[in-house]
Amino acid sequence: MLLIPCPWCGPRSQIEFTYGGDATVRRPALDAPEDEWARYVYVRDNPMGPHDEWWTHSSGCRQWCVVRRDTRTHEILGSAEPSRAPGQA
């Protein structure tokens, strides 16, 4: 069972959360070329190791957070509210 540290509620069981996928993809500018949009929509790094990913505490505070988790072991390395997560605006 994953124990996900919600930045607002503290460590909570994974069943309270919904997964939102890779948190490192960035929406391109509206006038960006089509291949950049295709990469944004479809292509993923899919790393074997630490992965920054979106989770929403859907059965809790309903906030989104960024969790860093190792995809080889499921070990959770940390979490942050979106504005403080590395790489997030």
Partner 1 sequence: MKYSIFSLARNARSYHERWPLAWRSPAPRPRYDAVIVGGGGHGLASAYYLAREHGIANVAVLEKGYIGGGNTGRNTTIVRSNYHLDPNAHFYELSLKLWEKLAQDLNFNVMYSARGVLNLVHSPADLDAAMRRGNAMRLNGIDAKFLTRNEIARSIPNLDCGADARFPILGGLLQPRGGTVRHDAVAWGYARAADARGVDIIQQCAVTGIRIESGAIAGVKTTQGFIATNKLALAVAGHSSHLAAMAGLKLPIESHVLQAMVSEPVKPVLDTVVTSGAVHFYISQSDKGELVMGGDLDFYNSYAQRGNLPIIEHVVSACLALFPSFGRLKLMRTWGGIMDMTMDGSPIIAKLPVKGLYMTGGWCYGGFKATPASGFCLAHTIARDEPHPLNAAFTLERFAEGRTIDEKGAGPYAWAH
CB of 52 within 8 A of CB of 24? yes
Rounded distance between C-alpha atoms, residue 82 and residue 7, angstroms: 10
Q: How close are the terminal C-alpha atoms of the chain, in Å? A: 30
Instruction: Report 25-44 residues binding partner 1 (CB under 8 A).
Output: 34-35, 38-39, 41-44
Q: List the structure tokens of 68.
A: 């860093």
Give the one residue of 10, 26, 71, 86 binding partner 1; rule: CB under 8 A: 71
Task: Establish if 48 lies at the interface with partner 1 (CB under 8 A).
Answer: yes
H/E element, 36: helix 34-42
Report the residue from 6, 12, 66, 69 that binds partner 1 according to the rule CB under 8 A: 69
Q: Give the footprint of partner 1 on this chain (CB under 8 A).
A: 1-2, 14-15, 19, 21-22, 34-35, 38-39, 41-46, 48, 51, 53, 69, 71-74
